[in-house]
Structure 1
Amino acid sequence: MTSQLILDKVSAIFSEQLPFHRHLGLKVVRYDTEGVEVAIDMADHLIGNVHQQILHGGVTATLLDVTGGLTAFAGVVAREVDPGIELLQQKLPKLGTIDLRVDYLRPGRGQRFIATGTIIRTGNKVAVCRMELHNEEGSHIAFGTGTYLVG
């Protein structure tokens, strides 16, 4: 099994099988060993401030956290010389957030929000990632740093 096939399976799990992600309308737009892109379209149930019509801070944090987790797992897959289905079965159930820091830079205004992630460091047990959230116009809404259990 190739690295990309494993990541495609993980993408499907995160997009289609997790009820909270489905409720939010979260979509994994790009997922490979070079990067992650997760998007969400603005909807009434995502509004955190009805007067300003801005994205709820918890949704912002969730987008960054999900993106960080996907990024961390992509780092695990990238480290493997010949990844197989065992990697998915053994490592994905252990994936979890250890720490998440979110810095809110601007109110979440927009129609579409796109989170991206990059690996800072990945090891056998822990990965550290940096995530950014932008709207469809490219305004930087928030960034985060996450530490994830990966093994």
Structure 2
Amino acid sequence: MVKMDTQQILTKVSDFMNDQVPFQRSLGFEITQFSSAKGEVKFRWQDELMGNVPQRILHGGVTATALDTAGGLVAIAGMVERLDNPSESYLIERLSRCGTIDLRVDYLRPGRGTEFIASATVIRSGNKVAVARMELHNEDGIHIAFGTGTYLVG
């Protein structure tokens, strides 16, 4: 039975999400930080991500997805840190049960920029449920949106 430490697990999950999740790949998401302290996802502007074509504004669904992804990262990392050197099969089984229970997004400004950074910190991390606070900024630090997510982790 092969067992992995927390950093190995987070690296494998991050690589999987960056390379193997089709929706995230199509949006151009790249996980740049992944720990129980902070999750961060970056992506660059693409015309395909526009929601308001005349004003060239990021689609609200892309904003929500970026926030949700960052929040899910800190929720998953908190769950992984509580595991005691799990086997890969047990880890896969646990990860397959993780998901978003609730997501609230507050849109503050139009999504304009060339690069976007969604970051998240954990508010509460329990055995079954985690709650995260997320923010989306552009490359100039302009705050575009924030959100709160509740995630099933157990």
TM-score band, normalised by shorter chain: over 0.9
Residue in structure 2 matched with residue 55 of structure 1 by the alignment: 58
1:19 aligns with 2:32: no
Q: Secondary structure at the match of 1:51?
A: coil
Percent identity between matched residues is 60
Q: CA deviation at 1:86?
A: 4.5
Question: What is the aligned length?
Answer: 151
Matches of 2:120 and 2:34, distance apart in 1: 10
1:66 aligns with 2:66: no
Superposition map of 1:129-144 within 5 A: 129-144=132-147
Gaps of 5+ in 1: none
**1:61-119 CA distances to partner (integer Å, 9 max, x unpaired)?**
00011111111001112223545435522211011110000000110010000011111
Gaps of 5+ in 2: none
Residue in structure 1 matched with residue 81 of structure 2 by the alignment: 78
Q: Of 36, 39, 55, which aligns to 1:33?
A: 36
Matches of 1:75 and 1:86, distance apart in 2: 19
| TM-score, length basis structure 2 | 0.93
Q: Secondary structure at the match of 2:106?
A: strand
Superposition map of 1:117-132 within 5 A: 117-132=120-135
Tell me whether 61-70 or 26-35 shows the greater mean CA deviation: 26-35
Q: CA deviation at 1:128?
A: 0.6
Matches of 1:3 and 1:77, distance apart in 2: 7
Tell me whether 76-85 or 57-66 shows the greater mean CA deviation: 76-85
Q: Secondary structure at the match of 2:122?
A: strand
| TM-score, length basis structure 1 | 0.94
**1:13-68 CA distances to partner (integer Å, 9 max, x unpaired)?**
21111111111111101212321110110001001111111110000000011111
Aligned amino acid, residue 44 of structure 2: D
1:90 aligns with 2:85: no
RMSD of equivalent CA atoms: 1.3
